[in-house]
Amino acid sequence: MNNQELYLKDKAQYLPTFNRIPITFVKGQGSKLWDIEGKEYLDLLAGIAVTNVGHCHPKVVKAIQSQAAELMHISNFFVSPPQVALSELLVNISGLSRVFFANSGAEAVEGAIKVARRYAHSKGRGGKIISMENSFHGRTLATIATGQAKYQEGFGPMPTGFAQVPFNNLEAIQNQISDDVAAIIVEPIQGEGGIRPADAAYLKEVHALCQANDIVLIFDEIQSGIARTGHWFAKDHYGIQPDILTSAKGLGNGMPIGAFLCNEKIASAIKFGDHGTTFGGNPLATSAAIAALEVIVEEGLLKETREKSAWLIDQLKVLQVKYPQIKEIRGLGLMLGVVLDTPALPYMQALLQKGIIANATAENVLRLVPALTISYEELQKFIHTLDDVLHAMNSK
Ligand X SMILES: *Cc1c(COP(=O)(O)O)cnc(C)c1O
On whether 278 is known to bind a ligand per the annotation, the reply is yes
| Residue 225 touches ligand X, criterion: CB under 6 A | no
On whether 279 is known to bind a ligand per the annotation, the reply is no
Which amino acid does the sequence have at 17? T
Region near ligand X per CB under 6 A, out of 37-45, 63-71, 217-225, 312-320: 217-225
- Closest residue to ligand X, based on beta-carbon distance: 105
| Residue 137 touches ligand X, criterion: CB under 6 A | yes
Q: Shortest Cβ distance from residue 18 to ligand X (Å)?
A: 13
Select 217 or 389, whichever has its Cβ closest to ligand X: 217
Q: Shortest Cβ distance from residue 361 to ligand X (Å)?
A: 10
Task: Say how far apart CA 14 and CA 64 lie, in whole Å.
Answer: 28
| Residue 117 touches ligand X, criterion: CB under 6 A | no
Cβ-proximal residues to 204 (8 Å cutoff; 6+ apart), any chain = 238, 240
Sign of CA dihedral 353, 355, 356, 357: positive
> What's the number of CA atoms in the CB half-sphere (13 Å) around residue 42?
21
63, 268 contact by CB (below 8 A): no
| Residue 119 touches ligand X, criterion: CB under 6 A | no
Which amino acid does the sequence have at 152? Q
Other Cβ atoms within 10 Å of 131 Cβ, number: 27
| Residue 162 touches ligand X, criterion: CB under 6 A | no
| Residue 261 touches ligand X, criterion: CB under 6 A | no
62 is catalytic: no
Q: Shortest Cβ distance from residue 230 to ligand X (Å)?
A: 17
Name the catalytic one among 32, 128, 235, 249.
249
Q: Shortest Cβ distance from residue 191 to ligand X (Å)?
A: 4
220 is catalytic: yes
Name the catalytic one among 35, 43, 220, 236.
220
| Residue 100 touches ligand X, criterion: CB under 6 A | no
| Residue 228 touches ligand X, criterion: CB under 6 A | no
On whether 221 is known to bind a ligand per the annotation, the reply is yes
| Residue 110 touches ligand X, criterion: CB under 6 A | no
Cβ-proximal residues to 281 (8 Å cutoff; 6+ apart), any chain = 76, 80, 83, 86, 100, 101, 102, 257, 259
Name the catalytic one among 100, 101, 136, 382.
136
Which positions from 268 through 287 interact with ligand X, judged by CB under 6 A? none
| Residue 223 touches ligand X, criterion: CB under 6 A | yes
| Residue 50 touches ligand X, criterion: CB under 6 A | no
Q: Pick one of 248, 251, 255, 334: the residue that binds ligand X (CB under 6 A).
A: 248
| Residue 220 touches ligand X, criterion: CB under 6 A | yes
Task: Say how far apart CA 232 and CA 292 lie, in whole Å.
Answer: 12
Select 269 or 335, whichever has its Cβ closest to ligand X: 335
| Residue 191 touches ligand X, criterion: CB under 6 A | yes
Select 136 or 260, whichever has its Cβ closest to ligand X: 136
On whether 147 is known to bind a ligand per the annotation, the reply is no
| Residue 252 touches ligand X, criterion: CB under 6 A | no
Q: Pick one of 42, 45, 106, 266: the residue that binds ligand X (CB under 6 A).
A: 106
Region near ligand X per CB under 6 A, out of 53-61, 114-122, 133-141, 166-174: 133-141
114 is catalytic: no
On whether 136 is known to bind a ligand per the annotation, the reply is yes
- Which residue numbers belong to the known binding site? 105-106, 136, 139, 220-223, 277-278
- Chain contacts with ligand X (rule: CB under 6 A): 104-106, 109, 136-138, 187, 191-192, 220, 222-223, 248-249
- Which residue numbers belong to the known binding site for pyridoxal 5'-phosphate? 105-106, 136, 220-223, 278
User: Which residues are known catalytic residues?
Assistant: 136, 220, 249
- Which residue numbers belong to the known binding site for N(2)-acetyl-L-ornithine? 139, 277
